[in-house]
């Protein structure tokens, strides 16, 4: 399966951040490898500029969230239709930071993923257990429940991506053992079709990318902190 390496910039990046993407492209002598998909999800303010500036360089641009509705009285929100209009082709939904900060339920995440498909975006649906849930031996059951509640209904031709991101591994420098990644990705694979890419996310960095990306059923990575620095993100792309 074609790997997808996705960078989630979160709430980081002003207009000058395009220079970091230029450095990433310079690392690949102007255009990215065509054996994999490379996606950057910058803050919403940068989507349109990044999409027009980098579309010919083989970079895909995505959003970090969308509202279930196409338009309407939802101050401060952004719809999937607006993201695609700005040049995005993917959107992250259900990131654990949104589930925690904005109390997003599985049902809301599912509605957002459905909105993404309606608009023609590929949703990256995030799932993952807390440390307490893993310690209690509930990790696979929790993720299975999240998948059941968060995955959209799909029709022929719809593309979705699942990102397994253990909450306790995000931004902490800690990662599950490779055996735990194997077990969880195999479990997720049993819930989704064979054509669905399953990304691993949580403290992916140049030093661990190669071994994680080599595992069965790991079809790419969702990268937070290390996607903000061109040299690190380039090393992770090379590892894939």
- List, by residue number, the catalytic residues: 95, 165
Please say whether the beta carbons of 212 and 219 come within 8 A.
no
CB of 150 to ligand PEP, least distance (A): 15
Min dist. Cβ of residue 196 to ligand PEP (A): 18
DSSP state of 9: -
Applying CB under 6 A, among 125, 170, 188, 213 the residue interacting with ligand PEP is 170
3-state SS assignment for residue 157: coil
Q: What is the distance between the alpha carbons of residues 203 and 168, in angstroms, rounded to a whole number?
A: 10
Alpha-carbon distance of 16 to 19, in angstroms, equals 6
Short-list 1, 38, 3, 62, CA closest to 210: 3
Adjacent-strand bridge partners of 200: 164, 221
Show the binding pattern over residues 11-50: x = contacts ligand PEP (CB under 6 A), - = does not.
----------------------------------------
Q: How far is the CB of 6 from ligand PEP (least distance, A)?
A: 8
- In whole angstroms, the minimum distance from the beta carbon of 123 to ligand PEP comes to 14
Residues 181-220 that bind ligand PEP (CB under 6 A): 201-204
Does 224 sit near ligand PEP (CB under 6 A)?
yes
Binding of ligand PEP at residue 68 (CB under 6 A)?
no
From the list 31-39, 64-72, 163-171, 182-190, the region that binds ligand PEP by CB under 6 A is 163-171
| CA distances for 62 relative to 18, 81, 158, 188, angstroms | 15, 12, 17, 23
Q: What's the min distance (Å) between Cβ of 146 and ligand PEP?
A: 15
Size of the site for ligand PEP (CB under 6 A): 13
- With CB under 6 A as the contact rule, the residue among 25, 108, 139, 223 that binds ligand PEP is 223
Considering only 4, 8, 109, 124, the residue that binds ligand PEP (CB under 6 A) is 8
Helix (H), strand (E), coil (C) string for 160-203: CEEEECCHHHCCCCCCCCHHHHHHHHHHHHHHCCCCCEEEEECC
Q: Per CB under 6 A, does 171 bind ligand PEP? A: yes
In this structure, what are the phi and psi dihedrals at residue 90, rounded to the nearest 5 degrees? Answer: -130, 165
Phi, psi of 198, deg, nearest 5:
-115, 115
Residues that bind ligand PEP (CB under 6 A): 8, 165, 170-171, 201-204, 222-226
């Amino acid at each position: 399966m074609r790997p997808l390496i996705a960078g989630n910039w979160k709430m980081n990046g002003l207009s000058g951040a395009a220079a970091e993407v230029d450095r990433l492209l310079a690392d690949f002598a102007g255009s990215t490898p065509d054996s994999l998909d490379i996606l950057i999800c910058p803050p919403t303010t940068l989507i349109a500029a990044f999409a027009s500036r980098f579309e010919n360089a083989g970079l895909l641009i995505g959003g970090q969230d969308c509202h279930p509705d196409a338009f309407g009285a939802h101050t401060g929100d952004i719809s999937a239709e607006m993201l695609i209009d700005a040049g995005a082709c993917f959107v992250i939904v259900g990131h654990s930071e949104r589930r925690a900060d904005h109390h997003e339920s599985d049902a809301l995440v599912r509605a957002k993923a459905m909105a993404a498909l309606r608009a023609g975006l590929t949703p990256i649906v995030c799932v993952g257990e807390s440390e307490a849930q893993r310690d209690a031996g509930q990790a696979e059951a929790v993720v299975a429940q999240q998948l059941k509640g968060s995955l959209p209904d799909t029709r022929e031709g719809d593309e979705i991506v699942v990102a397994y991101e253990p909450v306790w591994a995000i931004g902490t420098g800690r990662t599950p053992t490779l055996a735990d990644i194997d077990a969880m990705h195999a479990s997720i694979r049993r819930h989704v079709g064979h054509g669905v890419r399953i990304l691993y996310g949580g403290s992916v960095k140049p030093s661990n990318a190669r071994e994680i990306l080599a595992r069965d059923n790991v079809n790419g990575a969702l990268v937070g902190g290390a996607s903000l620095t061109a040299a690190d993100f380039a090393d992770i792309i090379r590892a894939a």
